Amino acid sequence: MTDSSQGKPNDITFTDVTRTFVRGDGQEVTAVDGVSAHIREGEFVCLVGPSGCGKTTLLQMVSGLLPTSGGAITVGAKQVTGPGPDRGVVFQKDSVFPWFRVIDNVEYGMKRRGVPAAERRDIANRYLELVSLSHVARAWPKELSGGMLKRVAIATVFANGSDVLLLDEPFAALDYVTKHQLHDVLLDLWRSTDAPRRTILFVTHDVDESLLLADRIIVIRDGRLVDDIAIDATRPRDVDTLTRPDMMTVKHKLLAHLGLEHGSRRSAAS
């Protein structure tokens, strides 16, 4: 948390953010090209775009793991200069430390921040219960399934008390059922936590996933922000929600952005 006069403690501001890479052949590639946006406190925003569009790069710059080439990212009133516990990340690949037991993984961030042992154990146990993993608190990660490991990762960032959560295609490698269970786990945690609600930036290439989860969908293509769509549907949403006419309109729009619908491709590139 930061004391701020302009921004809320956990909103995110992108100001003309650019990121370039030098490829192996010496050519310079622009992965993120002049993105400006404002994510309000407590908003659940999905970043959608085709593979290689720069959405993951954008997320990594918010996490501070990757520096920007130009422009600035501000979280609360503080400009991002490196990774920190105010911005929790759930990665696509398994990030749970295999050499710590499940409970010690959930406590990891709190321990680094000097939270007293008894207190952090309480918090860790509470979040393990919220993700239905109390029974494996003392297990080694190798004994858990992929879906369970994702639950551990989610419990870990929530337990660490981050104001902003960054999720980088976290459920892309999971099966259909597990993925939907985890959507519920994530939404429940996000909605149940005491005010102020955490801001979530969720990268995905799965259109239905973004429609089920987001308050707002930002579309990235070729490193540029090309669309910004508010989703008004009430929660909880289910398969029926997705077939509502207004949702279908948004879905068609997103598919067009992804280059999957003929005719609309040109108009979307504006």
Residues that bind another protein (CB under 8 A): 63-65, 82-85, 87-89, 91, 93-95, 97-100, 108-109, 112-113, 140-142, 156-157, 160
Q: Which is nearer to another protein, 9 or 88 (CB)?
A: 88
Task: Give the angle subtended at the CA of 194 by the CAs of 191 and 195, to the nearest 5°.
Answer: 95
Q: Which is nearer to another protein, 110 or 212 (CB)?
A: 110
Q: How far is CA 250 from CA 121, 208, 210, 216, 244, in A?
A: 43, 10, 11, 11, 10
Closest CA to 85 of 125, 113, 111, 104: 113
User: Shortest gap between Cβ of 96 and another protein (angstroms)?
Assistant: 8
User: Shortest gap between Cβ of 39 and another protein (angstroms)?
Assistant: 18
User: Shortest gap between Cβ of 266 and another protein (angstroms)?
Assistant: 39
What does DSSP say about strands 70-75 and 216-221: parallel, antiparallel, or unpaired?
Answer: unpaired
Q: Which is nearer to another protein, 113 or 265 (CB)?
A: 113
Q: Which is nearer to another protein, 38 or 93 (CB)?
A: 93
Closest CA to 154 of 130, 123, 178: 130
Taking the C-alpha atoms of residue 147 and residue 164, their distance in angstroms, rounded to an integer, is: 22
Q: Which is nearer to another protein, 34 or 85 (CB)?
A: 85
User: Shortest gap between Cβ of 97 and another protein (angstroms)?
Assistant: 6
Taking the C-alpha atoms of residue 148 and residue 142, their distance in angstroms, rounded to an integer, is: 11
The Cβ of residue 91 has, within 10 Å, a number of other Cβ atoms equal to 15
User: Shortest gap between Cβ of 136 and another protein (angstroms)?
Assistant: 14
Q: Which is nearer to another protein, 49 or 64 (CB)?
A: 64
The Cβ of residue 249 has, within 10 Å, a number of other Cβ atoms equal to 11
User: Shortest gap between Cβ of 193 and another protein (angstroms)?
Assistant: 18
